[in-house]
Amino acid sequence: MLYVKKEDRYKGAFTRTNFNKGQILLDLSMCLLIRDPSRTSIQVHDGFHVEHEVGACINHACDPSCKIEGLSVVALRDLKEDEEVTFNYNENEDVLANPFECKCCGKMILGRKHE
Ligand SMILES: [Zn+2]
């Protein structure tokens, strides 16, 4: 459903097929829940995070194509094959293990507790 694309120094998760708004792009329910966030983990509940091989490569965007809903990555709009999948890290992550400067707006992305 999703695959990891690497180009030069860029790495991201992309769609293999078309998706409709509201469809689940990635199911995280089989992932182990962990307590300590890492650079690549995704926060799914208060104090719980998961590591997923492809999910780890989903980049941040302030105007994202997806969101984390429960244990799923869900499309916020219709997506075409080979579109990049992004979500807003500030919406689900309390505190980022690895804060960084956003490419679209230059703002430091720290997690929602810092918003
Ligand atoms: Zn931004």
C-alpha to C-alpha distance for 54 and 56, rounded to whole angstroms: 5
For the chain, percent of residues with pLDDT exceeding 70: 100
CATH number of 2-114: 2.170.270.10
Residues 6+ apart with CB under 8 A from 37: 43, 49, 93, 95, 96, 97
C-alpha to C-alpha distance for 89 and 72, rounded to whole angstroms: 14
Q: How far is the CA of 107 from the centre of ligand 1 (A)?
A: 6
Q: How far is the CA of 30 from the centre of ligand 1 (A)?
A: 30
Q: Can you read off the two tokens belonging to residue 93?
A: 């992550």
pLDDT per residue over 8-60, tens digit each? Answer: 989 999 999 999 999 999 999 999 999 999 999 999 999 999 999 999 999 99
CB atoms within 5 A of ion ligand 1 belong to 62, 102, 104-105
Q: How far is the CA of 3 from the centre of ligand 1 (A)?
A: 23
Which amino acid is residue 63, in one-letter code? D
Q: How far is the CA of 22 from the centre of ligand 1 (A)?
A: 23
Q: How many degrees, rounded to 5, is the angle at CA 11 between CA 98 and CA 66?
A: 75
**Residue 52 contacts residue 71 (beta carbons within 8 Å):** no
pTM for this prediction: 0.94
Sequence ranges of the domains in the chain: 2-114
